[in-house]
Amino acid sequence: MLWLFRSLYVLALYTGMIIYTGLRLAAFIRHFLPSLKKWFFWLVYIFFSFSFFFFALIRLDRLTFIRFIIMYVPIFILYLFAFIFLFDMFSLALFLWRRKKRKKETINRQAVIRLEVGAALILTILILVFCTFHAQDIKTAHYSLSFTGYPSGSLKVVLVSDLHIGPTVGKKWVGRIVDRINEAEPDIVCMAGDIFDSGADGMADPEGIAAELRRIRAPLGVYACPGNHDANRRTRSLEEISDFLSAAGILLLADESVIAPYSINKPDIVVTGRRDARPIGMSAERLAIHDLHTSDTKTEVPGEIKPFLILLDHQPTELPQAADAGFDLVLCGHTHKGQVFPGTIFTYFIFKKAGGTHYGHWQQGGAQAIISSGAGVWGPPLRFGTNSEITVIDVTF
């Protein structure tokens, strides 16, 4: 029932923004089109505002062009509402100040509304254009981490998460990500889930995308764990993406571990990939985190070097538990850091409440975690206040 309450709450907020913004837009448009009927305006405006729902209902969102357009609608409404609301608050403050100063000059309120709405429309469009190009610019985030209890050495890890390969993120986008990975010259590459947007369905050029992924250069290999979007929604299986990734030179680990030998007199790298907690379209059964690796694994045996344990867990909801289980380095994604402001604020509190963080570095005892904002996008190809990124982690022992 909690999900239903949250959905109704979001729907109510969105509907409120639509009505508030619509009242201002109606006054703005009718100034230029005085013969426009109110009922016609509201009919078109409501349909536009909920177009992402209407088109999904009749499955027209499968058409790439229509899907691309309607994904922008909720963000357009959000930012248009935000600007109009801020301008209204400024006008109210100015009005109260003028009344306090007993200013008697009359102000044409309708002219002010037209100015506010016109400025809000221009700013909203400019932001959406900027965010579209910004989302496709792959950045590189850097972290330097130190771990004790091992022979001196270093390891370069590249973390990539949330590619969301599908209708929006295609071959060119993936190619830019691979270029950034290879520029970092990693020893090992780890993909922390949501490699696909909806399983392997929706890729426009599967062979081209696989060819791009095969270009990744990492001596110790490329490893991935599944995210909540990776399961095939028709078959409810990971088998399809596992086969695709295997052909692309990437090993998918779902509650499984593999040893990537480092070198003589240095620790073995044990990479564990975890199933996702809430995979879309399939059951959420997965091993408890202590059953993946226990702290006994880290016990030093005389004459032996204890392994360095890396956990790939898509959602950063059990970071304290991973630390208690004995993992050294936990790599996550999922949050997108909110992707579009003010989403950043919500993800911050959600994952802080879970005992972790929505982005960046986290530490508890000897365990450390890095959470990426993701290299791709979910929904509209926009980023505002966040980056599309790969993460380079320089580990020193």
Per-run averaged pLDDT (10 residues), the chain, 397 residues: 67 93 92 90 94 78 76 94 94 82 69 90 96 96 95 94 92 96 97 89 86 96 93 77 93 93 81 89 78 58 77 95 94 96 92 92 95 94 95 96
Examine the fold and report which residue of 134, 159, 178 is the final residue of a domain before the chain moves on.
134
- Contact between 316 and 369 under an 8 Å Cβ cutoff? The reply is yes
What pLDDT was estimated at residue 301? 52
Q: Are 24 and 64 found together in one domain? A: yes
Q: Are strands 222-225 and 329-332 parallel, antiparallel or unpaired?
A: unpaired
> Nearest-5° angle of CA 55, CA 19, CA 94?
140
Short-list 374, 354, 379, 375, CA closest to 364? 354
Q: Please choose, from the candidates 390, 393, 371, 396, the residue with its C-alpha nearest in 3D space to the C-alpha of residue 182.
A: 390
Same domain, 277 and 370: yes
- Based on the fold, state whether residues 70 and 213 are members of the same structural domain: no
d(CA 27, CA 16): 17
Asked which of 83, 103, 134 is the last residue of a domain, the reply is 134
The answer to whether the CB of 379 falls within 8 A of the CB of 147 is no
Q: Which amino acid is located at 240 in the chain?
A: E
Within a 13 Å sphere around the CA of 157, how many CA atoms are in the beta-carbon half? 30
Nearest-angstrom CA–CA distance, 388 and 162: 9
Q: Distance (Å, rounded) from C-alpha 356 to C-alpha 383?
A: 23
Last residue of one domain, picked from the residues 134, 154, 174: 134
- In the chain, the number of structural domains is 2
Q: Which two tokens stand for residue 58?
A: 């009749």
Q: Are 177 and 139 in contact (CB under 8 A)?
A: no
Q: Residues 145, 56: one domain?
A: no
Strands 138-146 and 388-396: parallel
Q: Are residues 104 and 217 in the same domain?
A: no
Domain residues for the domain of 263 are 140-396
Query: For residues 237 and 377, what is the distance between their CA atoms, to the nearest angstrom?
Result: 23
Q: Are residues 226 and 364 in the same domain?
A: yes
pLDDT of residue 65: 76
| Helices and strands: H and E segment counts in the chain | 12, 12
Same-domain status, 92 and 73: yes
- The answer to whether residues 117 and 28 touch, using CB atoms and an 8 Å cutoff, is yes
Q: How many CB atoms lie within 10 A of CB 41?
A: 16
Is residue 36 domain-shared with residue 159, that is, in the same domain?
no
Same domain, 178 and 244: yes
pTM: 0.89
Give how far Cα 164 sits from Cα of 5, 110, 224, 283, Å: 28, 45, 13, 20
Same domain, 157 and 9: no
What angle (nearest 5°) sits at the alpha carbon of residue 340, between those of residues 334 and 59? 75
Please give the angle made by the CA atoms of 303, 306 and 309, to the nearest 5 degrees.
170
Do 127 and 29 lie in one domain? The reply is yes
Phi, psi for residue 358 in degrees, rounded to 5: -90, -10
Please compute, for residue 299, the number of CA atoms within 13 A of its CA located in the half-sphere on the CB side: 5
CATH number for the domain including 265? 3.60.21.10
Same domain, 197 and 128: no
